[in-house]
Each structure stands twice: as structure tokens, then as C-alpha cells.
Amino acid sequence: MAVSFLNLGRLHQEIRPALDQAYKRVMDSGWFITGPEVQAFESEFATFSGVKHCVGVGNGLDALVLLLRAYGIGPGDEVLVPSNTFIATWLAVSQCGATPVPVEPDPQTHNMDPAGLEAAVTPRTKAVIAVDLFGQMAPIEQVMEAAQGCPVIEDAAQSIGASRVIDGARVMAGQAAAIGTFSFFPSKNLGGYGDGGMMVTQDDALFETLMKLRTHGSRRTYYHEIVGYNSRLDSLQAAVLSAKLPHLKAWSAARRRNAAYYDAAFADIGEITAPYIDAANESIYNQYTIRVSARDALQAHLKALGIGNAIYYPLPLHLQPCFAHLGSREGAFPESERAAREVLSLPVFPELRPGQLDEVIDAVRSFFGR
Ligand SMILES: *Cc1c(COP(=O)(O)O)cnc(C)c1O
């Protein structure tokens, strides 16, 4: 029997009545862009993430672009970014006319290595984007120290609801750096039924700028103070996200249970490196990503057995054609290149049934002859 990598339909069934109500509310209100639904969700998300301000935008990439713009980042500026991340992190820098400068990950957590970051800071460095990859937070407090006063933006698209203990206190993703971004792309742990994103900040002045940037540079209709964008969360997405948010903790806990079940089942297979979660972190397992040297053969084996899987990411960003102008070559970022050869993500979504977890496990174990 096949096991899909992700099954958004199953989740949909569970909360069908709340979703039906949300749709109806929006249709009846006749208010489709920003408005009360968006304000309500922004306020719920601010409470959830422990931040003062939330600004809903069109997608996670725009959230990064608008934040960089708010800091005045443009041509001639460098922004330090992880070498191993989803492309949106780099695209945001390029879209501002600035240059993404890659920093290698800690091979265990896949997150930005603070020592490498410290070494990469130059007088042209104007900001750092730290990504919380696969569901666990980057060591934000160490990143901020290594950034030597440059603003640090936490790209928490993959880690909605993750947390980290910093100086004895539990801090939520988006809260630690005081400036963060999220994505509500359907496959994120809190996904809309379309695109969506969020900027979060503790800073009142920055909040005012972000509100203008998302709406044509204006706070008061038809009066435009800055050259802005049009990137807003729509009411329908906000209503769906409000219906889903109360369930997010339970869904994350289910993902952690699935991950622990895999960890135990693979513990005796030396060829598999299971995900490593920093002791200070609670992961929300946006991905359950193992490392295997025979990755391509394992993937072919799983495919033949109908077991869903995915590679995040098959080609490192410095080798992507769209970044050829940055002049990087093979071998420049070996940790990212090695990750691209070795990583494989297995199904970990909350609605997986116990029998399906066992099917995935049997398929993986059979590849290694166990
Ligand atoms: C998903 C994601 C984003 C934003 O993606 P959008 O599709 O633009 O919402 C940004 N950064 C990372 C690391 C992501 O995984």
C-alpha cells in the first residue's frame, strides 16, 4: 500500500465545520483583502508567537523582501544567508538589489553555524537572515552575537510554533530576534488554502513602516509616503488560518510522536543519521530528514514501494543557474553540497496512521537488509 508524503485532505476533513464557517463568514462580509478577519488572525498569531506586532502579507518571500526594504537594504549591500535553505531566503536579498552571502550550516542541525557567520561579517554586511530549517530554531542568540550589531531577521517559515530555551526562558520562533517572517504556503505546518505570509516584530516604528510597505506605501488611503508594494494577506486565508491555529499545538505534538517512533525504529541502523535536535530546541518537524550516503538508491527503493519522500534540497543555491552571476562554483560550500547528496525526508505529517508509519519503517529497513 502506498503512503503519500503529505496528505492535506485528511486534515481538511477533521476541521471541516470550522472551515465551512470561515468561508461563509468571509463571503457574507464582502471584505476580501485585509479587514477584520486579517486583523483577528494577526492578533491571534501575535499572542501565539509572543510578539507585539504581526503584519500579514501575500507570501513568505514578500515578508522577507519588505523587512529588508524597511531596513533600507539595496544595491551594494551584503546580507548573510544560510548556504542551505529554500531559495526564497536568497531571492529576497536579490530582489532588493543586494547580494546574498552564504554561510555554511552546522551539519548536525542544518542551521546556520554562528562561528562561520562571525567570520563572514564585513563592513558591507547590512543584515543577517537566519533560517529555522526543517522545524527547529537556529541558535538565534548565538547568531545575534555573531552578527556584531547587524539586524538579524529570523526566517521561521518552516518552524511555526517551534521554541528554544534561551537563558532559561522558552522563546517562540519569531520572538527571539525581535524581527521574523513566516509563510503559510499549504505545506508549512500552519498552511492556508493559497499563499500567505507574516512579518512579526516587537518594534513600534518598524511596524508602522511595514504596514505602509504592504499597502502601496500608504497608511491613509490615497496618501503615499513611501514607494510601497501590494502584498497583503487576504481575508479568506486569514479566516482559514484562524480556524486552524487552535489545532497547531496538537498537530506539532503528533509530528514529534511520529518522529520519535522513526528515531527508535532506525536506532540500530548505523547507515542512517536521524535528525539531530539541539537540546535547547523543541522541533515542530516540518520535515523528518535523515542523512544516508546511499541516498539515491534508498530513494529509488522507496519509490518502487510507493513510499512518499522528498529531497530538500537537491541542488544547492550557489549552483542554481539564477545565481550564476554570483560566481560560485562546485566545492565552494561543501556542507551544503554534501547535504544535497545525503538528505531524504520521510512522511511525518500528523494524520499519518500507525500502520503507515510501520510501512515506511519496513520499507527503509528492508533497503538496509534488516
Ligand atoms: C517556504 C519558505 C519561505 C517562503 O516561501 P513562500 O512560498 O514565498 O511563502 C521562505 N523561507 C523558507 C526557508 C521557506 O521554507
Distance 276 CA to ligand 1 centre (A): 22
Q: Would the CB of 237 count as within 6 Å of ligand 1?
A: no
Reduced to 3 states (helix: H, G, I; strand: E, B; else coil), residue 131 is strand
Task: Give dist(CA 2, CA 360) in Å, integer.
Answer: 9
Question: Which residue owns the Cα nearest ligand 1 atom 2?
Answer: 157
* pLDDT more than 90, % of the chain: 96
What CATH number belongs to 248-367? 3.90.1150.10
Domain with CATH 3.40.640.10 in the chain: 8-246
Distance 188 CA to ligand 1 centre (A): 9
Reply yes or no on whether the pLDDT at 180 is more than 80.
yes
- Please state at what angle helix 36-49 crosses helix 235-244, rounded to 10 degrees: 40
pLDDT in tens, 348-360: 999 999 999 999 9
Q: Would the CB of 197 count as within 6 Å of ligand 1?
A: yes
The residue behind cell 500608504 is: 218
Q: In the prediction, which pLDDT does 165 show?
A: 98
Q: Would the CB of 84 count as within 6 Å of ligand 1?
A: no
Distance of CA 137 to the CA centre of its chain: 10
pLDDT in tens, 198-255: 999 999 999 999 999 999 999 999 999 999 999 999 999 999 999 999 999 999 999 9
Q: Would the CB of 56 count as within 6 Å of ligand 1?
A: no
pLDDT in tens, 24-38: 999 999 999 999 999
Distance 158 CA to ligand 1 centre (A): 7
Ligand 1 atom nearest the C-alpha of 132 is 13
Question: Which residue owns the Cα nearest ligand 1 atom 6?
Answer: 60
Task: Give dist(CA 267, CA 365) in Å, integer.
Answer: 11
Reply yes or no on whether the pLDDT at 16 is more than 90.
yes
Domain with CATH 3.90.1150.10 in the chain: 248-367
Distance 32 CA to ligand 1 centre (A): 23
User: Nearest Cα to 129, choosing from 76, 73, 171?
Assistant: 73
pLDDT in tens, 98-118: 999 999 999 999 999 999 999
Give the DSSP H/E element, type plus range, for residue 212: helix 204-214
Q: In the prediction, which pLDDT does 74 show?
A: 98
C-alpha cell at 336: 551544503
Ligand 1 atom nearest the C-alpha of 133 is 13
Per-residue confidence at 139, pLDDT binned at 50, 70, 90? Answer: very high
pLDDT in tens, 307-316: 999 999 999 9
Question: Which residue owns the Cα nearest ligand 1 atom 13?
Answer: 86
Q: In the prediction, which pLDDT does 233 show?
A: 98
Q: CATH: 3.30.930.10, 3.40.640.10, 1.10.1740.10, 1.20.1300.10. Which one for 8-246?
A: 3.40.640.10
**221: how many CB neighbours lie within 10 A of its CB?**
8
